[in-house]
Amino acid sequence: MKTYTIIPNNISKLNLADIYRFTCLSFQPHKNGYTDTTFKQLMLLTKDKSEETLKDFIKRLREAELIKIETVKEHCTNKSSVVNRNHYYFPLYTENFRMIHKDIIDCDLTMEDKGFLIGLFVNCINNSKDCKFTIVKIAKVLDLNRKTAAKYLKKLIELGYILKVKGGYELKVDWLLVSDKRERLIQKYKDMGLDTVYKIDWERVLNPEKYANALLSGLAHKKEVKKEVKKEQLKIIL
């Protein structure tokens, strides 16, 4: 499982429990641009009681069109039978996304509670945990009635996950990550799989974006590289 995951800001088109299920799905290891995690594997994270529940979730996820889902036929280990397997293709989000740490999995909250917090997080001011919405606005963006939104707010405020502040709410959750541009870029390139191809010490990289461009252009992994990449002078120290 990945240490961090990235989710799109428009995830709130899903219901609260599905927001959390989607987040768990995005934590699964990716290969060749997709994850082929099974329902049983996903259940270990979501704690759903049956595969049918997850099949219904995947149906709703297809309808939401947040990711591409491809069903393929694969041979079982003994090659005597064929089963259907889903491939889940997650886009490489470059904007309008949020980062979440895997500690969310072990957090002692319900799926709906976690989904509510994530739903608020994607509607926070950029690079912050400050949501300046009223209860009415929160209910609208999460497709809840006002009473239900107020119930979640009350519970999570009492548990210390949300703080009521002037003009809105502040999320007091460590696994909802706010990062600077450099950290977001590094996470994006990790999700692209660069770390699986090259051994990268990101702390020694002066400019992650230019370094990644050099890797993708086949210029890196020399003692010192000075090349013109996209009309910019590139210097990478390895």
Domain boundaries, the chain: 4-89, 105-177, 181-237
- How far is 220 from 190, CA to CA, in rounded Å? 16
- In terms of CATH architecture, what is 105-177? Orthogonal Bundle (1.10)
Helix (H) or strand (E) holding 194: helix 194-197
Give DSSP secondary structure letters for 22-77.
Answer: HHHHHHS--BTTEE---HHHHHHHH--S-HHHHHHHHHHHHHHTSSEEEEEEEE-T
Digits of tens for pLDDT over the chain (238 positions)? Answer: 788 888 999 999 999 999 999 999 999 877 777 899 999 999 999 999 999 999 999 999 999 999 999 998 877 766 677 888 899 999 888 788 898 989 999 999 999 999 999 999 999 988 889 999 999 999 999 999 999 999 999 999 999 999 999 999 999 998 988 765 666 677 777 777 776 667 777 766 767 777 777 777 765 544 443 343 333 333 333 3
Pick the CATH number of 4-89 from 1.20.120, 3.90.930, 1.10.10, 1.10.3470: 1.10.10
Helices and strands, counts by H and E, the chain: 9, 11
> Assign residue 33 a region: left if phi > 0, alpha if psi is -120 to 50, beta otherwise?
left
Q: Do domains 4-89 and 105-177 have the same CATH topology?
A: yes
**What's the predicted TM-score (pTM) here?**
0.75
The answer to whether residues 96 and 44 touch, using CB atoms and an 8 Å cutoff, is: no
